[in-house]
Structure 1
């Protein structure tokens, strides 16, 4: 079947995040026991990924559970976001922008509350594509089959008409099980080559 839509993951595909070990680096600076930040915040991080907490609630939970000041929490979260945003994959972003004139395009990202605004401000990712599906906005995370269904619905295509790009094998397997074509990101050149092959030089 003809590919009518190409959907990109963000982290590890359109942007490359920095090392996300900010908790281990901040604990000694804040006088916290090693592992205490993750133990205190694990449920909040999980909730933020599906949008059941607000940014203000994340901030308050870190402050109250770890006994930090508001300024300390702000510093930790600023560092987290700098790492989360990392650096843009400028070549693939440019390709995706041009691709939009040929097929429908989308973003499907396991994210965190606040990601849309920051990624749009930093890299213009939301305006890059026709549809952008963030886990924290829809309450679902890859590889939940309901998320593939939602993405196809928003793009008005069948699963067989979608080519999905992600950097996690489990998400690739999930997309394929739902009936999509899927490409595991290994390099930008490899992904562009596989997309072009799937499109047949359209």
Structure 2
């Protein structure tokens, strides 16, 4: 019986159209302007808030937003608005063509996700894009407790897929994450555009 192959996708910058390298800074700057603080004062308040690490922990999102709201003197409506704006910026827009292509792969390969994330991402991205209909497992850093490119992130994803490294192709928009996958024996390609990514997947599945 042939060994099952897997296509393992990153989310931000791959399945979602969003600039991973810029959106967070732009979002913080937007809210600095909203609250009317100078950069140094804003940064000091955020630093003093001692925000929880929502990228590697579960159940910490409420504490994160409560601390942000207190640090910046936001009322409840402002805090809710800030949170909604965060998730809109975080999720960007769906790469619907690539998601639709991934849906067609079910007869030839498993499809899964490995993504650095923030607590709350599973619910927000599921509501917007319905990832669970296409990808299983979905391995989020805030649930696994470790971020890419730490080798353990990939090992935990392999364990959940029940796959050997050589049977997996990983797609990510950051070279450091591609390198991390290759370091544990996973074949990986950097996502530049849909056409080249799809071509790489097709080549992998033919191999």
What's the TM-score, normalizing by structure 1? 0.91
CA distances 1:26-53 after superposition (whole Å, capped 9, x unpaired): 21221222254455446537x0111255
Kept in 1, the 8 Å contact 2:35–2:72? The answer is no
In the alignment, does 2:164 pair up with 1:158? Answer: yes
Look up the match of 1:136: 142
- Which stretch of structure 1 is more off in the superposition, 32-41 or 82-91? 32-41
Look up the match of 2:27.
22
Partner of 1:4: 5
What is the alpha-carbon distance in structure 2 between the residues aligned to residue 36 and residue 159 of structure 1?
47
Paired residues, number: 200
Q: Which residue of 126, 131, 138 maps to 1:125?
A: 131
5+ unaligned residues in a row in structure 1: which ranges? none
1:93 and 2:99 aligned: yes
Q: Cα RMSD over matched residues?
A: 2.0
Task: Report if aligned partners of 1:7, 1:164 keep a CA contact under 8 Å in 2.
Answer: yes
After superposing the two structures, state which structure 1 stretch, 1-10 or 160-169, moved more. 1-10
Q: Distance in 2 between matches of 1:157 and 1:91?
A: 26
Deviation at 1:158, TM superposition (A): 0.7
Instruction: Verify the 8 A CA contact 1:3 1:162 in the aligned structure 2.
Output: no
Q: What are the equivalent positions in structure 2 for 1:55-134 lying under 5 Å apart?
A: 55-134=61-140
Answering whether residue 147 of structure 2 is matched by residue 145 of structure 1, we say no
**Residue 61 (structure 1) shift:** 0.6
Structure 2: tracts of 5 or more residues without a match: none
